[in-house]
Amino acid sequence: MKILPKLIILVTLFTLVFSWKAVFEKLEQLKEKEEDIKKHLDLKSLGLSSLKDLNVKDLMHFHIPDLSSKLEKLKHIIPKDLDPSHHKEVDAFWTGAFEEFSLPKPTELIECFGTVSGQVFFRKLRIINDLLQHSKSGDNVKLHTDFAQFEVLMHALEHAHECMVHSHDFERLTDSLHISHDPETLKNAKYLYYQAKFSNLADDYKSVIDEIDKKDFNKAGKNFADLFKKSIKDFKKQGEDLLAYQAFGNGISGALGVEFPSDSISCYNPKHAKLLMDFFRGISHAVTEGRWYKADQSTADYWKSEGKSLLEQIPDKVWNCDLNSKDSKKISEKIGMDLNSKEFRDKMWDYVNDHNIMFYSYLRSMRSAIHRGDYLHAGASYAHLLEAVAKSV
């Protein structure tokens, strides 16, 4: 960074005083609207009593009406922070994490957090823990609440995350782990891994929250880094398609209200999982590309052109392992029909022919979910199709 001449610094500081005066006047005007803002941000849970506890840097982390554009213009002349003491918890957490990664202490990354955004970061970790625990227990009501809170917190941390992923610290971290620098790629990979492994992650992630509860933020950072390293190693070993298959299975089980898959997972290797997931991707695309009233013909055409070939490449021993697994038997018991029976296969084809629009609707939902990388909901859509077929007459 270039060193500004003293005169420019004086002018900048002079401008800053008047700019800040305008900002704080605006804060006073917003006092009456505080209740509306609290609906979107729980100030009490952040240890704040009112908006006046926010400093200007923190406000840039939130999209508060009328202030965002003004603060955006001021961001280059606002000091790093009014109170550096807020860095202690964030500093300790990321220092511990980078020590576990065998990397030097981060500097730029820590500076991405302000007083409130640092607290929001730890609140986000707690919400992630809630998501994992409630996913494992199958509490869908609480999951909806968790996701809503997670979205709000992610929105609040948008600028902090943007700052993080463009820091030299983050670049050193991704280089050391041999993973992509691209934030979108990392986001999609983390979401896929969560969908496939939330049951396992729930136990490991709790160790991070336990240390935060003890105020040992350095140890929490180390546990977080350890979990992150294990997840990356597992992700690389299994690959996207095997994880997608596991997430799809979790979606089926969750929608039907049976235990999440266990023994059926070991039936597939990455190659076989890819063939199966390519079939679901292909049929959902082929059927919904056309009109709903042509769903039966589209299904038949896809089976002849590609679908049959994909499934025939999966060895019989894999099919036998899957269809005879405890997981498949639980699903069969739940829907009231044996998935491996000729009767069920015949009913499936009858359903395609006699209930075109419903079949089309289930596959459209599946295709949409797969397109956005949401294999849990894709599996849930397939589960609802299985139920509909079993109940059809």
Q: Which two tokens stand for residue 344?
A: 């069920």
Hey, where are the domains in the chain? 6-69, 86-253, 265-391
User: 139, 117 in Cβ contact below 8 A?
Assistant: no
Q: Which two tokens stand for residue 156?
A: 């609040």
pLDDT (tens place) for every residue of the chain, 393 residues total: 444 443 333 333 333 334 434 444 444 444 444 444 444 444 444 444 444 444 333 333 333 333 344 334 334 333 333 344 446 899 999 999 999 999 999 999 998 888 788 888 999 999 999 999 988 887 777 888 888 888 888 888 888 889 999 999 999 999 999 998 888 888 899 899 999 998 889 888 999 999 999 999 999 999 999 999 999 999 999 999 999 999 999 999 989 989 889 899 999 999 999 999 999 999 999 999 989 999 999 999 999 999 999 999 999 999 999 999 999 999 999 999 998 899 999 999 999 999 999 999 999 999 999 999 999 999 999 999 999 999 987
Vertex 369 angle, CA 162 and 181, to 5°: 30
Calpha distance 152→41 (Å, rounded): 8
What's this model's pTM, rounded to 2 decimal places? Answer: 0.74
Calpha distance 110→173 (Å, rounded): 14
**301 phi/psi in degrees, rounded to 5:** -65, -40
Calpha distance 315→358 (Å, rounded): 31
